[in-house]
Amino acid sequence: MNDTSTKRKTALKPKVERPKLHKVILVNDDFTPREFVVTVLKGEFALSEDQASRVMITAHQKGVCVVSVYPRDVAETKATRATDAGREQGFPLLFTTEPEE
């Protein structure tokens, strides 16, 4: 058998799906102190004071704010840790996750 008989006419296109990133979302509440929210944002998500203040104020005014995006397991771990930090102090602070479109 010669080589040409088995040759493809079109190149194989590698179909590598990029895993979706997931958003971590900060949810407003009426009880958690603003400064505590900023502290958690800086500690868990490595935001600067300025970035953390802006994210906190946006959630406070609009109800929610996207903090950052990560691979799913990282997003879920960070959201859980940040929510637990609030619970440990008796605050209803909540972080959720959802896949990016």
Region binding ligand TYC by CB under 6 A among candidate stretches 8-16, 31-39, 45-53, 69-77 = 31-39
With beta carbons less than 8 A apart as the criterion, state whether 79 and 95 touch.
Answer: yes
The candidate with the shortest Cα–Cα distance to 82, out of 47, 54, 49, is 47
Does position 87 bind ligand TYC by CB under 6 A? no
Does position 26 bind ligand TYC by CB under 6 A? yes
Burial of 52 (0-12, 13-18, 19+ CB in 10 A): buried
Does position 97 bind ligand TYC by CB under 6 A? no
Q: Given the rule CB under 6 A, which residues bind ligand TYC?
A: 26-30, 32-34, 37, 56, 59-60, 93
